[in-house]
Amino acid sequence: MSETPGWSSPDQPQNQPPQNQPPQYGQQPPQYGYNQQPPTGPSIQPGVIPLRPLAVGEIIDGAIKTMRSHPKLIIGAAAVVAAVTQILGLLVQLPFLDDLTAVVTLDPNTTTQQEAVDQATGALVGFLSGSLITVVLLLFGTVFLSGFITVVVGHAVLGKPVTFAQAWEEFKPRLLPLLGATLLSGLVITIGLVLCIIPGVWLWVMFALVTPALVLERCGVGTAFGRSRKLVEGAWWRTFGILLLTVIIGAVIGWIVSLPFEAIGLAVSGGFSNDPTAVLNAGYLVFVTIGAIISSTITLPFSSAVTVLLYVDRRMRSEGMDIELQRAAGHGGI
């Protein structure tokens, strides 16, 4: 963030530090292993996390604290993004419900095989087109939300207040680069998954920190990929474990929140009577969409905040960034 010191990468030029001050990046900062804590001084915590290498629980707790301390910014933005993307996605898919229902209820006694194939193909193409539009909407919404939340978490780490206007002003120049980085990352990971599952997972972890690096360090897309790879190197398994835990927690929360709405939707549409067209009923999809909006409002900010705090932890461990953050928070370093 341009207005807040402490986030520049070690490769960016630094001013010479005054005498008797802690060293800047690139001047032999302290190095901590993945299970080590700083050897000196009490923890300094101006914001949602202590400014030292973090335990897994502290990363999870810091993400929750950030959401609780900035509910209007984080939960509010997530609710708006989730509502817009999910509702638009529903509206795109609704026109194809009748065609899909007609395919499911085809009478083989009155329909030729060719007619059935043509009707099924038309319905499937239409539905997949609508689904593709939904995915694109979700992509744009997720990119905006992850970048915006990254800015908010960056302030929360330092205990600095931030308004929506300030966060948007800081994030706005990063929106298009972040979109490009997200598309490129998704393409690379997808290719890895297609070739073999393991390369895709490895790439997913290696590039997991692209968003916070690009937004907070205000670097280019290529540099952000390099920064993520550098930060994850030597801690791939720990990074993978934290990301996997975040996915599991998000999936469980999403399932718990969505399940009642799905049950209500099935009850309204007659799904419990084993009607195969129940899930193609508009009433069922409306309730499922409501559940998806609520669950996304919780899970998307949580996963984004964990990713940012994981990035902060990796920089404190490998680059001694806790010193610079303490200075930026007004504590003068250790």
User: How crowded is the C-beta side of 206, counted as CA atoms within 13 Å?
Assistant: 16
Sole residue written with tokens 């474990």? 241
Contact 5, 327 (CB under 8 A): yes
What pLDDT, on the 0 to 100 scale, is given for residue 23?
Answer: 38
CA distance 144 to 134: 16
What pLDDT, on the 0 to 100 scale, is given for residue 135?
Answer: 82
What pLDDT, on the 0 to 100 scale, is given for residue 19?
Answer: 38
Q: Where are the domains of the chain?
A: 56-327
Tokens describing residue 197: 């599952």
What pLDDT, on the 0 to 100 scale, is given for residue 95?
Answer: 78
Any residues with CB less than 8 A from the CB of 264 and at least 6 apart, and which? 287
Supply the DSSP symbol for 52: S
Contact 91, 286 (CB under 8 A): no
What pLDDT, on the 0 to 100 scale, is given for residue 290?
Answer: 95
Positions in the chain whose pLDDT score sits under 50: 1-4, 15-41, 333-334
What pLDDT, on the 0 to 100 scale, is given for residue 276?
Answer: 60
Sole residue written with tokens 């964990």? 306
What pLDDT, on the 0 to 100 scale, is given for residue 197?
Answer: 79
Tokens describing residue 205: 């972890």
What pLDDT, on the 0 to 100 scale, is given for residue 100?
Answer: 66
Is 221 strand, coil or helix?
Answer: helix
Closest CA to 292 of 140, 284, 185: 284
Is 12 strand, coil or helix?
Answer: coil
What pLDDT, on the 0 to 100 scale, is given for residue 126?
Answer: 67
Any residues with CB less than 8 A from the CB of 45 and at least 6 apart, and which? 51
Inter-CA distances, 14 with 155, 204, 256, 326, Å: 21, 31, 48, 17
